[in-house]
Amino acid sequence: MDLFCEYSTVSSFYTDENIYKCEVIGINRIATNGRVLNIHGTHPDGKSNADVNTLTIFDHQIENFPRYLCKFFPNLKSISVLCCGLKKLSKFDFIGCEGIEKLMLNGNLIKSVAPDVFEYVSNLEIISFFMNQISFVPEIVFDGLKMLKYVNFKMNPGIDWCCKEFGRQGNLLAEIKGKLRKDFGAKQVIESAENGTQEFFEAFKFLENFRDSARIAMEDNCDNRIKMMFNRF
Protein backbone atom coordinates (compact mmCIF):
# COMPACT_ATOMS: atom_id res chain seq x y z
CA MET A 1 0.00 0.00 0.00
CA ASP A 2 0.98 3.63 -0.51
CA LEU A 3 0.34 6.14 2.28
CA PHE A 4 -0.33 9.84 1.74
CA CYS A 5 0.78 11.96 4.68
CA GLU A 6 -0.01 15.44 5.91
CA TYR A 7 2.82 16.61 8.15
CA SER A 8 2.52 18.97 11.10
CA THR A 9 4.17 19.91 14.38
CA VAL A 10 1.89 19.65 17.43
CA SER A 11 2.30 20.01 21.18
CA SER A 12 2.59 16.84 23.23
CA PHE A 13 -0.28 16.08 25.61
CA TYR A 14 2.15 14.70 28.20
CA THR A 15 5.32 16.81 27.90
CA ASP A 16 6.50 20.24 26.82
CA GLU A 17 8.11 18.77 23.71
CA ASN A 18 6.73 19.25 20.22
CA ILE A 19 5.74 16.25 18.11
CA TYR A 20 6.36 16.04 14.37
CA LYS A 21 3.47 14.01 13.05
CA CYS A 22 2.34 12.20 9.91
CA GLU A 23 -1.45 12.19 9.64
CA VAL A 24 -2.40 9.68 6.94
CA ILE A 25 -5.01 11.36 4.74
CA GLY A 26 -5.17 8.74 2.00
CA ILE A 27 -4.25 5.13 1.23
CA ASN A 28 -3.74 3.50 -2.14
CA ARG A 29 -4.74 -0.11 -1.40
CA ILE A 30 -2.42 -2.08 -3.62
CA ALA A 31 -2.66 -5.82 -2.86
CA THR A 32 0.51 -6.06 -0.77
CA ASN A 33 -0.76 -7.83 2.37
CA GLY A 34 -0.23 -4.65 4.34
CA ARG A 35 3.29 -3.89 3.11
CA VAL A 36 3.94 -0.17 2.79
CA LEU A 37 5.64 0.49 -0.54
CA ASN A 38 5.73 4.28 -0.69
CA ILE A 39 5.07 7.34 1.46
CA HIS A 40 3.82 10.50 -0.23
CA GLY A 41 3.63 14.01 1.17
CA THR A 42 5.56 17.27 1.38
CA HIS A 43 7.55 18.19 4.47
CA PRO A 44 7.88 21.79 5.68
CA ASP A 45 11.30 23.34 5.15
CA GLY A 46 13.96 21.72 7.26
CA LYS A 47 11.99 18.56 8.01
CA SER A 48 12.30 15.02 6.64
CA ASN A 49 11.03 11.49 7.24
CA ALA A 50 13.70 11.08 9.90
CA ASP A 51 12.00 13.78 12.00
CA VAL A 52 8.62 12.02 12.12
CA ASN A 53 8.01 10.52 15.56
CA THR A 54 4.23 10.02 15.45
CA LEU A 55 1.98 8.45 12.80
CA THR A 56 -1.82 8.34 12.90
CA ILE A 57 -4.26 6.55 10.59
CA PHE A 58 -7.91 7.29 11.32
CA ASP A 59 -11.04 5.95 9.61
CA HIS A 60 -9.35 4.34 6.59
CA GLN A 61 -10.50 0.77 5.93
CA ILE A 62 -7.47 -1.54 6.13
CA GLU A 63 -7.60 -5.15 7.37
CA ASN A 64 -3.82 -5.55 7.68
CA PHE A 65 -1.51 -3.46 9.83
CA PRO A 66 0.76 -1.27 7.63
CA ARG A 67 4.01 -3.23 7.61
CA TYR A 68 7.54 -1.74 7.35
CA LEU A 69 6.50 1.75 8.50
CA CYS A 70 9.83 2.23 10.23
CA LYS A 71 11.70 1.65 7.00
CA PHE A 72 10.38 5.07 5.99
CA PHE A 73 10.16 6.66 9.45
CA PRO A 74 13.16 5.28 11.39
CA ASN A 75 12.54 7.38 14.51
CA LEU A 76 8.87 6.61 15.11
CA LYS A 77 7.85 6.57 18.77
CA SER A 78 4.07 6.35 18.40
CA ILE A 79 1.73 4.55 15.97
CA SER A 80 -2.06 4.93 16.08
CA VAL A 81 -4.41 2.99 13.79
CA LEU A 82 -7.91 4.05 14.87
CA CYS A 83 -11.35 2.99 13.61
CA CYS A 84 -9.90 1.31 10.51
CA GLY A 85 -11.46 -2.15 10.57
CA LEU A 86 -8.07 -3.66 11.34
CA LYS A 87 -8.38 -7.44 11.78
CA LYS A 88 -4.86 -8.82 11.83
CA LEU A 89 -1.71 -8.14 13.82
CA SER A 90 1.62 -9.97 13.56
CA LYS A 91 5.06 -9.57 15.07
CA PHE A 92 6.39 -9.13 11.54
CA ASP A 93 4.39 -5.89 11.22
CA PHE A 94 6.85 -4.30 13.65
CA ILE A 95 10.18 -5.34 12.16
CA GLY A 96 12.56 -2.38 12.38
CA CYS A 97 10.33 -0.53 14.86
CA GLU A 98 12.29 -1.28 18.03
CA GLY A 99 11.95 2.35 19.15
CA ILE A 100 8.14 2.34 19.32
CA GLU A 101 6.87 3.36 22.76
CA LYS A 102 3.15 3.86 22.12
CA LEU A 103 0.75 1.65 20.12
CA MET A 104 -2.92 2.67 19.85
CA LEU A 105 -5.29 0.30 18.01
CA ASN A 106 -8.65 1.56 19.26
CA GLY A 107 -11.95 0.93 17.49
CA ASN A 108 -10.85 -1.94 15.26
CA LEU A 109 -11.95 -5.56 14.66
CA ILE A 110 -9.03 -7.47 16.18
CA LYS A 111 -10.22 -10.76 17.72
CA SER A 112 -7.05 -12.20 19.25
CA VAL A 113 -3.48 -11.32 20.17
CA ALA A 114 -0.64 -13.73 19.36
CA PRO A 115 1.79 -14.63 22.19
CA ASP A 116 4.79 -13.25 20.28
CA VAL A 117 3.18 -10.17 18.70
CA PHE A 118 5.39 -7.71 20.63
CA GLU A 119 8.66 -9.60 20.13
CA TYR A 120 10.26 -6.83 18.05
CA VAL A 121 8.91 -3.84 20.02
CA SER A 122 10.21 -4.48 23.52
CA ASN A 123 10.33 -0.76 24.40
CA LEU A 124 6.55 -0.35 24.35
CA GLU A 125 5.22 1.69 27.28
CA ILE A 126 1.59 2.27 26.25
CA ILE A 127 -0.69 -0.23 24.46
CA SER A 128 -4.40 0.17 23.78
CA PHE A 129 -6.87 -2.26 22.21
CA PHE A 130 -9.89 -0.24 23.35
CA MET A 131 -13.15 -1.26 21.62
CA ASN A 132 -12.02 -4.22 19.51
CA GLN A 133 -13.48 -7.76 19.39
CA ILE A 134 -10.83 -9.53 21.44
CA SER A 135 -11.89 -12.73 23.14
CA PHE A 136 -8.49 -14.17 24.01
CA VAL A 137 -5.12 -12.80 25.18
CA PRO A 138 -2.25 -15.18 26.07
CA GLU A 139 -0.88 -14.68 29.56
CA ILE A 140 2.71 -14.42 28.29
CA VAL A 141 2.09 -11.75 25.64
CA PHE A 142 3.56 -8.89 27.71
CA ASP A 143 6.48 -10.78 29.29
CA GLY A 144 9.20 -9.09 27.25
CA LEU A 145 7.92 -5.53 27.76
CA LYS A 146 10.10 -4.24 30.58
CA MET A 147 9.05 -0.60 30.06
CA LEU A 148 5.29 -1.21 30.07
CA LYS A 149 3.22 1.41 31.93
CA TYR A 150 -0.31 1.19 30.55
CA VAL A 151 -2.52 -1.43 28.88
CA ASN A 152 -6.15 -0.89 27.81
CA PHE A 153 -8.56 -3.69 26.86
CA LYS A 154 -11.77 -1.84 27.70
CA MET A 155 -14.89 -2.57 25.61
CA ASN A 156 -13.90 -5.99 24.26
CA PRO A 157 -16.34 -8.94 24.40
CA GLY A 158 -14.00 -11.29 26.27
CA ILE A 159 -11.95 -8.80 28.27
CA ASP A 160 -12.86 -5.37 29.65
CA TRP A 161 -10.25 -3.65 31.81
CA CYS A 162 -7.17 -1.43 31.76
CA CYS A 163 -4.04 -1.39 33.93
CA LYS A 164 -1.80 1.51 34.84
CA GLU A 165 1.59 1.53 36.50
CA PHE A 166 1.40 2.82 40.07
CA GLY A 167 4.58 1.30 41.44
CA ARG A 168 7.33 -0.86 40.10
CA GLN A 169 6.91 -2.26 36.60
CA GLY A 170 7.04 -5.80 37.95
CA ASN A 171 3.86 -5.17 39.90
CA LEU A 172 2.07 -4.06 36.72
CA LEU A 173 2.99 -7.24 34.85
CA ALA A 174 1.86 -9.33 37.81
CA GLU A 175 -1.46 -7.47 37.90
CA ILE A 176 -1.99 -7.98 34.16
CA LYS A 177 -1.22 -11.70 34.41
CA GLY A 178 -3.61 -12.05 37.31
CA LYS A 179 -6.40 -10.40 35.35
CA LEU A 180 -5.76 -12.56 32.29
CA ARG A 181 -5.90 -15.73 34.40
CA LYS A 182 -9.10 -14.63 36.05
CA ASP A 183 -10.99 -13.16 33.13
CA PHE A 184 -11.02 -15.62 30.39
CA GLY A 185 -14.57 -16.01 29.39
CA ALA A 186 -13.40 -17.09 25.94
CA LYS A 187 -11.75 -20.23 27.31
CA GLN A 188 -14.79 -21.02 29.44
CA VAL A 189 -17.08 -20.67 26.40
CA ILE A 190 -14.93 -23.13 24.43
CA GLU A 191 -14.92 -25.64 27.28
CA SER A 192 -18.68 -25.35 27.62
CA ALA A 193 -19.07 -25.92 23.88
CA GLU A 194 -17.03 -29.10 24.05
CA ASN A 195 -19.20 -30.36 26.89
CA GLY A 196 -22.40 -29.46 25.07
CA THR A 197 -23.77 -27.63 28.12
CA GLN A 198 -26.48 -25.01 28.28
CA GLU A 199 -23.94 -22.60 29.81
CA PHE A 200 -22.22 -22.40 26.44
CA PHE A 201 -25.31 -21.11 24.69
CA GLU A 202 -25.96 -18.55 27.41
CA ALA A 203 -22.35 -17.36 27.37
CA PHE A 204 -22.26 -17.27 23.57
CA LYS A 205 -25.46 -15.22 23.45
CA PHE A 206 -23.99 -12.77 25.97
CA LEU A 207 -20.78 -12.36 23.97
CA GLU A 208 -22.69 -11.90 20.72
CA ASN A 209 -24.86 -9.18 22.26
CA PHE A 210 -21.83 -7.47 23.77
CA ARG A 211 -19.95 -7.59 20.46
CA ASP A 212 -22.91 -6.15 18.54
CA SER A 213 -23.27 -3.33 21.08
CA ALA A 214 -19.58 -2.55 20.84
CA ARG A 215 -19.72 -2.53 17.03
CA ILE A 216 -22.70 -0.18 17.00
CA ALA A 217 -20.99 2.10 19.49
CA MET A 218 -17.86 2.11 17.34
CA GLU A 219 -19.74 2.92 14.14
CA ASP A 220 -21.75 5.67 15.82
CA ASN A 221 -18.78 7.30 17.49
CA CYS A 222 -15.85 7.12 15.08
CA ASP A 223 -15.67 10.87 14.59
CA ASN A 224 -13.15 13.56 15.43
CA ARG A 225 -14.32 13.73 19.03
CA ILE A 226 -13.51 10.05 19.53
CA LYS A 227 -10.23 10.57 17.73
CA MET A 228 -9.23 13.24 20.23
CA MET A 229 -10.24 10.98 23.11
CA PHE A 230 -8.22 8.05 21.79
CA ASN A 231 -5.08 10.14 21.50
CA ARG A 232 -5.31 11.14 25.14
CA PHE A 233 -4.92 7.61 26.50
Provide DSSP, 118-151.
TTT-TT--EEE-TTS---B--TTTTTT-TT--EE
Report whether 101 contacts 125 (CB < 8 A).
yes
What is the tens place of the pLDDT at every residue in 138-190?
Answer: 989 999 999 999 999 999 998 999 998 765 556 788 888 888 888 764 454 45
User: Are 150 and 176 in contact, with CB atoms under 8 Å apart?
Assistant: no
φ/ψ bin of 68: left (φ > 0), alpha (ψ from -120 to 50), beta (otherwise): left
Mean pLDDT to the nearest integer, 113-118: 96
Assess contact for 80 and 24: CB atoms under 8 A: no
Section 182-205 average pLDDT = 49
How is the chain split into domains, by residue range?
Answer: 2-230
Global pTM exceeds 0.85: no
Do 21 and 55 contact (CB within 8 A), yes or no? yes
- CATH architecture of the region 2-230: Alpha-Beta Horseshoe (3.80)
